[in-house]
Amino acid sequence: MSTLTVTAKGQITLKKELLSHLNVSPGEKVEVDRLPGGRVVIRAARPTGSIDAFSGSLADPNGPTLTIEQIKEITEEGWAGIR
């Protein structure tokens, strides 16, 4: 457990080990949820990972490469209940 000091402005500074645990870097944001009994939960305000790590994660290496037009057509057919 860490003990933090509240400044005259009502602010606290999270210690480096807490920020590291949250995987938060300077300039990034955290979310704080208020819980009953005067408790709070702090977590990183962004999903873990990066868009670069996600990009292509659903691709099938043995499957076809689709054009934007083909993806649009498949999507429209799916919404229309054709597929």
Is 71 part of any domain? Answer: no
Summarize pLDDT for 44-83 with one digit per residue, the tens: 987 667 777 777 777 777 888 888 899 899 889 888 777 6
Specify the pLDDT at position 80. Answer: 78
Is 77 part of any domain? Answer: no
All residues at 6 or more sequence positions from 75 whose CB lies less than 8 Å from its CB, including other chains: none
What CATH number is associated with residue 33?
Answer: 2.10.260.10
Comparing CA positions, the residue from 7, 34, 29, 6 lying closest to residue 19 is: 29
Domain total for the chain? 1
The first and second tokens of residue 18, run together, are 């807490």
Is 23 part of any domain? Answer: yes
pTM: 0.50
Summarize pLDDT for 10-29 with one digit per residue, the tens: 999 999 999 999 999 888 89
Domain range for 34 is 1-47
Specify the pLDDT at position 7. Answer: 96
Is 82 part of any domain? Answer: no
Is 27 part of any domain? Answer: yes
